[in-house]
Structure 1
Amino acid sequence: MKKNTPNKLKILNDPIYGFIQIPNSLIFDIIEHPYFQRLRRITQMGFSNLVYPGANHTRFHHAIGCMHLMQKAISVLRFKQVQISKEEENALCIAILLHDIGHGAYSHALEHSIVNGISHEEISLKFMRQLNKEFNGELTLAIEIFEGKNPRKFLGQLISSQLDIDRLDYLKRDSFYTGVTEGNISSDRLIAMMNVKEDELVIEEKGIYSVEKFLIARRLMYWQVYLHKTGLVAEHILMNVLKRAKQLAEKGEQLFASAALHYFLYNPISIDNFTDKTLKMFSNLDDYDVFSAIKEWVNHSDKVLAMLSKMIVDRNLLRIEIQEEKFSEAYLLKNQQKAIKELEISEKDVHYFVFQQPITHQAYTLKMPIFILNKKGKLEDIATASDQLNLQALTIPVVKHFICYPK
């Protein structure tokens, strides 16, 4: 009897782009792999849904959207006589599909609490190398492009630059799901204006206004969404919850945790000891493990862990103030003393509830310019090619300071 083989040329329906086609069976098999399916359980925007209730989309969503935009970009460049081989096309689609595979639960919170000294990019690379073994070396070129080691510079720029496919998807997607229309960019128009000159990924002159809009949209999305004060507080409380849990685990305290979370709480994790076993455990760790643990920790005997966990579960967060200058030591001390008295906690634990930090964002950096290809065939940095005075201002990093303390 003939065995049923699955149809691997599936079509997915995306709320932003409509139908997305999976281009071939290798990419289908990568998407089907448990490592990639885990991205369905990692939210794209962490705790932003505490501010924007619609922001529940996942890293899986984003990665599939990126693959779709990459296919569009490749066909535009080929139409403009840029030579891209079948192997390079496949490698670009795989590299952009897997660019975020190393993200931990709630995106960046794990990197700053229980997994130290190893970034999500390095974990992405470990996943890609592991998949490369399983797929008999078929990801070698994708890894080379992802690492920026391919001699054709523009291939790497499609994956990572100031106008890469990743940004073209997440700005449009995050704007759609949050309902913040200021971030809605025309990714189609930007891709249609792409070209390659002197091995650089460039935008043709008639696309200059779309690039301006893109840079301004990115700035607005950062201050209005990604660095929104409520989202900031929630993320820092989450990091403090995990730091506290890790501290208790190091002392041998018993904590409710799934097998994967238990592994990361009870073992020191760094880049030096990130083994194949660690990678396997990491591939089983997602938002569900973290949130189900936090729900249990609300009743833990450790007061600090219980209070912080309850803040997240009930969305009853710390108060936050943001200003241009750093808050004075006297103001910090005053809030610390008040918290010690009102929460009845010790001086050594007050930093979990009262803390200040700078936040910084630079909308455009001159180190990795976006080049405009003018009518004479010359390349010009967008900051000088644009008649929009604001663009020069966008190259200056904006630094603000925030302080959090109990209400």
Structure 2
Amino acid sequence: MAYPKGKLSEEKVFKDPVHRYVHVRDGLIWDLIGTREFQRLRRIKQLGTTYLTFHGAEHSRFNHSLGVYEIVRRIVDDVFKGRPEWDEGERELVLSAALLHDLGHGPFSHSFEKVFHLDHELFTRDIILGQTEVNEVLRRVSDDFPKHVAEVIAKTYQNKQVVSLISSQIDADRMDYLQRDAYYTGVSYGHFDMERILRVMRPREDQIVMKQSGMHAVEDYIMSRYQMYWQVYFHPVTRSAEVILTKILHRAKELHETGYIFTHAPVHFYSIFEGNVTTEDYIKLDESIVLFYFQAWEDEEDHVLADLCRRFMNRRLFQYTEFNPNEEMTKYFKLTALFKEAGIDPDYYLVVDSSSDLPYDFYRPGEEEERLPIHLLTQSGHIKELSRQSDIVDAISGKRRTDHKLYFPMDLIVDMSEKAEEKKAIMKLLGLG
């Protein structure tokens, strides 16, 4: 079943710094872009707190979602069109899923989810299937169309070709965010030859494969992803901002639970604090709302909440040092005790933060579906797994890299003039004395 409006009478275009233009010819896509739930993504940054490290990283999930849609549109309209292994009847479905795949992200997405035990993928599903403008548009195709879109995004849809275009180890989502994030942060790491990758993509049975002649472009993509994670996504300054953001949310929740009377009541947070957030409550939350409260809470009577909010809003971040939790927990416990003696709450001002990434993996039975490998199509028609053909990819396959940092407020330690012995001991343990 096709969308009743069919094609637009005139193509709409969005100017885009990464893809030059995003083309919209389908009434379905144009109407989805106009829904309140999709427009909300303009108010959610793609990279959370990264703008405090790379000042250009102000782009939104709206930008990114349009970019993912455009990559998928080019694949199905230009690369796959007319190929017998591709079902043209899946076109509207895969375009809709590409556009809506990040619909459920909240403000400062991953930090927010971690504190309140939320899952953006579940909210994406709830928005697509609930009483929303997005659902109303999707149901114009058919009553079960919203369900199929949600299944593609959840990676449970029966056609794995469709799923892999949106979510796999080389997909439109990753191809857009690597290039887009590199552009807006001003770094060179995330650039790779996407044009070449698109030209060598081929639909095969239940997967998407790459012609072996394009292997070097795929290697470049894998290494770009690896570099972006460690140079941008896991940057220690960004992580410091995330630590403070997380502690603000923890503190506000703790104060609410203990009956603290806020000068600026967090009415938008009540249902989240109490664990009964509705889809409508969630849709009303965006980063402008959160930042409004953070600015207001700078004047709260609770010293910890006010101080953390001032730090975040004015970019007075925590310092950090390397930390190995397997070898240095005794040092951490000593620091905790010294912080308490000095009147600094270690629950909020002494934080271990860890980052971990697996850049590429081959198939391992029982592992999550996302680890399905990238396959190469040889000239003889055989299909071979990427790391078996590429020495570069083989060198990093299955190798998880993990990094730990210990974050602390250097300014508070420096100001410990009345606690000279504790200050000296803390500085020594942190390797600063």
Q: Verify the 8 A CA contact 1:204 1:372 in the aligned structure 2.
A: yes
Q: Verify the 8 A CA contact 2:200 2:211 in the aligned structure 1.
A: yes
1:18 to 17, 20, 26: 20
1:319 is aligned to 2:319: yes
CA offset at residue 152 of structure 1? 2.0
Q: How many Å separate the matches in 2 of 1:230 and 1:252?
A: 34
Give CA-to-partner distance per residue, 1:214-247, whole Å, 9 cap, x none.
1111110000000000111111210110011011
CA offset at residue 323 of structure 1? 5.0
CA gap 1:245/1:325 in 2 versus in 1, 3 angstroms? closer
**Equivalent position of 1:362 in the other structure:** 358
- Within 5 Å, which residues of 2 pair with 1:198-347? 198-255=205-262, 256-257=264-265, 259-265=267-273, 267-269=274-276, 278-323=278-323, 326=326, 328-342=328-342, 344-345=343-344
Q: How many Å separate the matches in 1 of 2:9 and 2:282?
A: 30
1:395 is aligned to 2:391: no
1:188 is aligned to 2:195: yes
**In the comparison of the two structures, how many residue pairs are matched?**
386
1:353 is aligned to 2:349: yes
Quick one: which amino acid aligns to residue 268 of structure 1? G
Q: Verify the 8 A CA contact 2:47 2:57 in the aligned structure 1.
A: yes
Q: How many Å separate the matches in 1 of 2:308 and 2:12?
A: 44
**Equivalent position of 1:3 in the other structure:** none
CA offset at residue 338 of structure 1? 4.2
* Structure 2: stretches of 5+ with no match in the other structure: 1-7, 364-371, 411-433
Give CA-to-partner distance per residue, 1:185-214, whole Å, 9 cap, x none.
222221111112232111110110111111
Q: Verify the 8 A CA contact 1:326 1:401 in the aligned structure 2.
A: no
Quick one: which amino acid aligns to residue 321 of structure 1? T
Quick one: which amino acid aligns to residue 226 of structure 1? Y
CA offset at residue 374 of structure 1? 1.1
**Equivalent position of 1:89 in the other structure:** 91
Q: How many Å separate the matches in 2 of 1:351 and 1:286?
A: 27
Quick one: which amino acid aligns to residue 384 of structure 1? R
- Within 5 Å, which residues of 2 pair with 1:109-124? 109-113=111-115, 115-116=116-117, 118-124=118-124
CA offset at residue 372 of structure 1? 0.8
Q: How many Å separate the matches in 2 of 1:58 and 1:297?
A: 25
Q: Give the SS at the match of 2:353.
A: strand
**Over aligned residue pairs, what C-alpha RMSD do you find?**
2.0
TM-score norm. by structure 2 comes to 0.84
CA gap 1:80/1:133 in 2 versus in 1, 3 angstroms? closer
Q: Verify the 8 A CA contact 2:324 2:404 in the aligned structure 1.
A: yes
- Within 5 Å, which residues of 2 pair with 1:370-381? 370-381=374-385
Q: How many Å separate the matches in 2 of 1:294 and 1:182?
A: 33
Q: Give the SS at the match of 1:162.
A: coil
Q: How many Å separate the matches in 2 of 1:8 and 1:91?
A: 22
**Equivalent position of 1:33 in the other structure:** 35
CA gap 1:322/1:189 in 2 versus in 1, 3 angstroms? farther
Q: How many Å separate the matches in 2 of 1:257 and 1:263?
A: 13
* Structure 1: stretches of 5+ with no match in the other structure: 1-5
Q: Percent sequence identity over matched residues?
A: 29
Quick one: which amino acid aligns to residue 317 of structure 2? L
- The answer to which of 362-371 and 53-62 deviates more is 362-371
Q: Verify the 8 A CA contact 1:300 1:306 in the aligned structure 2.
A: yes
CA offset at residue 122 of structure 1? 1.1
Provide runs of 4+ in structure 1 moved above 4 Å: 6-9
CA gap 1:324/1:382 in 2 versus in 1, 3 angstroms? farther
Q: Verify the 8 A CA contact 1:324 1:399 in the aligned structure 2.
A: no
Q: Give the SS at the match of 1:403.
A: strand
**Equivalent position of 2:176 in the other structure:** 169
TM-score norm. by structure 1 comes to 0.89
